[in-house]
Structures are given as structure tokens and as C-alpha cells.
Amino acid sequence: MEEKQPKKVLSEQERLELAAQLDKDLDAFISSLEKKRYTEGWPEDRWEEEMAKHPFFMQKSPEQGEELSPLMEGLQQLKYDPQENTEQELADTYKEDGKFYMQHRKFRMAVLSYTEALRYKVGDAAYKAILYNNRSAANYMLKNYRTSLQDAQKALQLNSDYDKARWRAAQCASALDRFELCVELCDTILQRDPTNSAAIEMRKDCLAKKAAQQRDSRKEARQEREKQEQWDRLVTELKKRVVKFEERKALHDERYLRPRLAPLEDFMVTCDESGVLSWPVVFCYPEFQTTDFQQQLSETTTMQDVLEQLFVEPLECDKAGLYRAKKVNVYYENRILGLAYMVDKSKTIQEIVSERTFVVFQGTLTFYILVKGSKQEESFVTQPRIPLKIEY
């Protein structure tokens, strides 16, 4: 047996020297640590940002497409891994995600979550009905009423006693103005719960809207008939007068009868019940390069009467006071022949328009007013005009 060596007893001086050495070594170790920067933790300038990404500390879920931290990515892989979860578990997971997104009003994400949940083959029809109804609710909040109605109806097919789905379907039918379906659904709800005030009110509202819609449809149909009758009457009178148009389709398509000039564009030629036409007319003053407009000039009016009315007040630009009914001549142009024709002022507008040489352009009657015997009149009459090449 080995003999134990007796412990060396330190003197007081040696103990003091040893303690001093240990203090010195500890100070040296601590000093060496301060020189090495700690690199394993969060950076000092971004620690709050990094903490917010940590699953334990984050206050909101990551946005779609946002880069995930390694820890969060690992947790998601565990949560959605088909190798680690049954189809029912995965469906439950996405269902809970949908609920979370609905609570936070992220309805598009909720739709995606419920859609993912429905991908899995879970055998319980009632469970699937809940998923369809929940997706219907999310689509309803997005105002996708047609899609929401389809999902609510699928939920009812899977569970005919599903009152929430039936109410959602009724809401969608009302929003889509499918009044008959809405009333039918409300009737079913009221058979099961006669005191359901919301269903009673919706049914009443739908019946009122349906009646208004039918009334509006009848009014629209009546207006359409009247419009067609007016058009037929107008075409008949224009043909009776043998009115000629530059546009070949003028008597077949009212777009060619609509004036293009801004002051007249809302005043197409009309025919009253007595068969009298009213025309949009433009009067041009070549001397001053200005115009006057008559939006609805009756064809029974003579040109002389029109001039008297035009010059009740002197033209602002007529400083010499020459533009008076008896001092002016009126012309119209035939662009097809390239000629100008003087108007007999004693004739009515109907008689003038029915002349063999008068051709209507863009549904508007155009006349030129010039002082008799003036240089402007001579220039207007003699100016060269290039005939349009139009075949009828």
C-alpha cells in the first residue's frame, strides 16, 4: 500500500503570493474575453427586428411569400409535412389557419386555407360542409357572391340541415338579385324557425325588389317599343319625302343620323305623331366665320320665318347692320356634285330638303347666309369645289 505524502503547509507569506497570482490570472482571462466580439447572438443594430422574426416573440404571422427564419421554416415543415401528419390532421391544420385569417380579416388567405383543406379526402360529409360554408363566408366578405353562393349550396348538399349555409346562400342570392331563389331559401328557413326576424325581413325586401325589377323591366320594354315605333315612323316619313343622305346606311342605322357637331349631337331629327319632322340645323356666316344653331327646327317653317327669327337681334359681328332677312341670300352645298344652290326663302324647310339637289350630311341641315350682291357672296358661289365620289 502506497504511503500518503503529507500535505505541505503553506506559510502565510506563500498563501498571500498564491492568492495574488490567482487574481492576476483571472484578470488576464477576463481581459482576453473582452477583446473577442460575441458573434453567436443577434446583431446589436437589428436585435429587435430579429426578435420579431422568432416564433416565440412574433406578433403577426408571416405574409405570403415573405422569407421565413430557419426556425419558423422548420416549424412549418413539421406542421404541413404529409409524412408527419394524416390527411385529417392536415385538413384540420388548414381549417384552423382559415379561422385565424378570418378573425384577422385576411379573407383571401382564408379562402386559400379552406381550399387547401378541401383537397384532402376526409370522409365526414358534415366536416366538408363546414369547410365549404367557411369558404363561402370568406368569399362573401370579398363580395364574390356568385362563388360564395356555390360553396353555400355545396355545403347544403352535404348537410341539408345546415342552417348557417342556408342563410349564407340566401344572403348571396339577395346580393345577386336572384329573388326567387332568395325567397325559396327564406321560406325554408322560416319553416324551421318561424320567428327568424332576419329571414322575414330579407324575404319582404326581396319581394319588394322583385316587384320593382319587374316594373322597371316593363317600363324598359315599353320605352324600347316606343323608341322602335318612333324610328319606324321617322324612316317612313323620310322615305316619303325622298330625303337623300351622303351616308348610305342613314335609314338603317340611327348612328348615321346623329349630328357630330357638339351643340347638336343630342338632337337627332325627330318625327312627331302627326308625321312632322324637326331637324337639327346649322347656319354659317362665311363672312365672319361664325355659326348659329337650331336644335329642333320644324320642317313646316319657311326659310323667311327662320331668318326673321335669327335677326330679331343684330349679329354681334355685323357692325354695318347688313344682315337682315330681306338683305341676305341663303345657300346650301351639294358636296357630291360640288355645287352651291340658292334657297327660295318662301319655301318651307320640308320643301327645301325634298329638292332633288339637297343632300343631308351627318343628319344635319347646313345653310350659308350671305349679304346679297356682296363680294363674299360672289366668292362663295364661284369658289371651286371638288365633287365627292359617292355611288348610290
| CB atoms inside a 10 Å sphere around CB 34 | 7
Mean pLDDT computed over every residue of the chain: 87
Per-residue model confidence (pLDDT) at position 11: 77
Cβ distance 377 to 329 under 8 Å? yes
Extents of the domains making up the chain: 74-176, 254-382
Phi first, then psi: what are they for 69, rounded to 5°? Answer: -70, 155
For residue 121, name the pLDDT band (cuts at 50, 70, 90). Answer: confident
CA distance 311 to 108: 69
Number of residues assigned to the chain? 392
Q: How far is CA 12 from CA 8, 15, 25, 160, in A?
A: 13, 5, 20, 96
Looking at residue 71, what is its pLDDT? 45
Q: Say yes or no to pLDDT of 202 above 70.
A: yes
The reply to whether 74-176 and 254-382 are identical in fold is no
The pLDDT score that the predictor gives to residue 124 is 87
- CA 55/CA 76 separation, integer angstroms: 11
**Predicted local confidence at residue 332, as pLDDT:** 98
Topology of the domain comprising 254-382: Ubiquitin-like (UB roll) (3.10.20)
| Cell numbers found for residue 347 | 319655301
SS (H, E, C) the chain: CCCCCCCCCCCHHHHHHHHHHHHHHHHHHHHHHHCCCCCCCCCCCCHHHHHHHCCCCCCCCCCCCCCCCHHHHHHHHHHHCCCCCCHHHHHHHHHHHHHHHHHCCCHHHHHHHHHHHHCCCCCCHHHHHHHHHHHHHHHHHCCCHHHHHHHHHHHHHHCCCCHHHHHHHHHHHHHCCCHHHHHHHHHHHHHHCCCCHHHHHHHHHHHHHHHHHHHHHHHHHHHHHHHHHHHHHHHHHHHHCCCEECCCCCCCCHHHHCCCCHHHCCCCCEECCCCCEEEEEEEEECCCCEEEEEEEEECCCEHHHHHHHHCCCCCCCCCCCCCCHHHEEEEEEECCCCEEEECCCCCEHHHHHCCCCCEEECCEEEEEEEECCCHHHHHHHHCCCCCCCCCC
pLDDT top residue among 20 and 146: 146
Question: Residue-wise over 262-284: b if at least 16 C-beta within 10 A, else e?
Answer: eebeebbbebeeeeebbbbbbbb
pLDDT at site 265: 93
Percent of the chain at pLDDT exceeding 70: 82
Average pLDDT over residues 210-234: 94
**First-to-final CA distance of the chain:** 141
- pLDDT tens column, 37-57: 555 555 656 656 655 655 545
Binned at pLDDT 50, 70 and 90, residue 19 comes out as confident
Nearest to 94 by CA among 110, 78, 83: 110
Q: Is the pLDDT of residue 67 over 70?
A: no
- Write the CA distances from 139 to 63, 103, 128, 146, 172, integer angstroms: 20, 14, 17, 9, 10
Rounded CA Rg of the chain: 46
Q: Could you identify the residue written with the cell 343630342?
A: 266
Out of 3.20.20.100, 1.10.8.350, 1.25.40.10, 2.60.40.10, the CATH code matching 74-176 is 1.25.40.10
Lowest-confidence range among 24-33, 94-103, 167-176? 24-33
Q: Is this model's pTM higher than 0.75 or not?
A: no
Helices 107-118 and 87-103: angle between axes, nearest 10 degrees: 170
Average pLDDT over residues 323-342: 96
Residue 66 has pLDDT above 60, yes or no: yes
Select, from the ranges 68-77, 121-130, 355-364, the one with the highest average predicted confidence (pLDDT): 355-364
Instruction: Answer whether 309's CB lies under 8 Å from 281's CB.
Output: no
The CA dihedral of 171, 173, 178, 183, to the nearest 10 degrees, is -60
Q: Which tens digit of pLDDT belongs to each residue from 233-261?
A: 999 999 999 999 999 899 999 999 999 99
